[in-house]
């Protein structure tokens, strides 16, 4: 292995920092419903999410390949570009967390790579094939998450209406444990892979690899970093998604996490980098909408959606400015 330069070391550390932030601000979404329905304690939910996120991140590399070589042309950018992109993610996500707003690390990542890439090499750096998958992912996370949450909750209410309330609450409290584990695994399989791809891209640029590849030790390092971030996960994010957005019972929490997990797994299978935050958020909104539009606190939803919308321009702008500064320095 060639000796890594200072810029390479800093860049790889920034990638890991962004992966940690991903586990800290994004991964808690998957456990928000089960904590809010009091089917599992915060401590046990965090442990469950951390373990399943790590296992999910180790399950494949299709999404990692899309991020690593499908968003911007690897051959026309450099380590400073990657460092600038990670800086945009870390600054924006940390600022949003301060206000308890969940951010999409997926959109932050592609926006950061795009902004830094444009500063480095101009519009020709963007790859349309990868961006097509990003746009498809936005559709997946927005409409599929909401629709599945709405449909599954309605189906559960219709099928299990004859059950006594106490029995139904016990049943879905247990089933929610499985659905939360599934969603956390799905989060890791999609979100966790993205930063593996960037880390591998950084190693390629540093001359460690002669071609793009994702060895097992990179998978282990990235997934472990995200799991550690989840272990320090944000109560503010859980409170916003699980309690402020809408009130949920156990069967509704089960429906939200199952719907989100299914949508995320479907996207992962096709190598589509979607926003797990959007998917879980819209699934929760869909669940709440079954009780009428007034059951969803749309004021909170508007704040969450605003943060989602701002992610693209803000992360892109921070990354662009940072890339220009790094270019002058180095």
- Where do we find the tokens 């002058």? 328
Q: Which residue has the higher pLDDT, 176 or 30?
A: 176
The CA distance from 99 to 114, in Å, is 26
Q: Which two tokens stand for residue 238?
A: 């859980």
Residue 239 predicted with pLDDT over 70: no
Please name which of 70, 124, 263, 107 lies closest in space to residue 183, comparing C-alpha atoms: 263
Facing residues of 126 across strands? Answer: 72
**Other CB atoms within 10 A of residue 262 CB:** 20
Instruction: Check residue 42 and give its pLDDT.
Output: 77
Q: How far is CA 101 from CA 301, 307, 311, in A?
A: 10, 7, 11
Question: What is the pTM assigned to this prediction?
Answer: 0.84
**Other CB atoms within 10 A of residue 265 CB:** 17
Instruction: Check residue 258 and give its pLDDT.
Output: 93
Enumerate the domain spans of the chain. 6-329
- Where do we find the tokens 């949508």? 263
Instruction: Check residue 319 and give its pLDDT.
Output: 96
| Rg (the chain; Cα; Å) | 19
Residue 142, H or E segment: none
Please name which of 13, 53, 22, 24 lies closest in space to residue 223, comparing C-alpha atoms: 53
The CA distance from 182 to 289, in Å, is 23
Residue range 256-270, pLDDT digits in tens? 899 999 998 888 888
Q: How far is CA 15 from CA 22, 81, 206, in A?
A: 10, 12, 14
């Amino acid at each position: 292995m060639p000796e890594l330069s200072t810029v390479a070391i800093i860049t790889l550390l920034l990638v890991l920092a962004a992966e940690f932030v991903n586990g800290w601000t994004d991964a808690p979404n998957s456990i928000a419903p089960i904590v809010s329905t009091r089917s599992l304690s915060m401590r046990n939910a965090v442990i469950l999410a951390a373990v399943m996120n790590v296992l999910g991140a180790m399950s494949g590399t299709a999404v990692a390949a899309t991020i690593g070589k499908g968003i911007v042309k690897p051959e026309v950018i450099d380590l400073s570009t990657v460092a600038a992109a990670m800086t945009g993610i870390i600054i924006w996500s940390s600022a949003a967390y301060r206000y308890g707003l969940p951010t999409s690390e997926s959109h932050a990542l592609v926006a950061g790579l795009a902004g830094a890439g444009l500063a480095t090499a101009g519009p020709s750096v963007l790859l349309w094939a990868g961006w097509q998958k990003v746009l498809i992912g936005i559709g997946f996370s927005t409409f599929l998450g909401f629709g599945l949450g709405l449909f599954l909750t309605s189906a559960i209410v219709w099928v299990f209406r004859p059950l006594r309330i106490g029995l139904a609450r016990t049943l879905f409290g247990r089933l929610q444990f499985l659905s939360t584990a599934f969603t956390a695994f799905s989060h890791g399989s999609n979100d966790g892979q993205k930063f593996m791809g960037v880390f591998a891209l950084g190693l390629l640029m540093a001359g460690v690899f002669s071609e793009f590849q994702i060895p097992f030790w990179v998978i282990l390092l990235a997934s472990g970093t995200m799991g550690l971030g989840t272990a320090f996960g944000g109560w503010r994010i859980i409170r916003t998604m699980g309690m402020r957005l809408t009130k949920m019972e156990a069967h509704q929490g089960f429906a939200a996490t199952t719907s989100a997990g299914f949508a995320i797994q479907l996207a992962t299978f096709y190598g589509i980098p979607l926003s797990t935050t959007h998917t879980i958020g819209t699934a929760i909104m869909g669940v709440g909408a079954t009780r009428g539009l007034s059951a969803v606190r749309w004021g909170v939803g508007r704040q969450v959606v605003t943060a989602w919308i701002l992610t693209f321009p803000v992360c892109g702008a921070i990354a662009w400015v940072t890339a220009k500064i790094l270019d002058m320095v180095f």
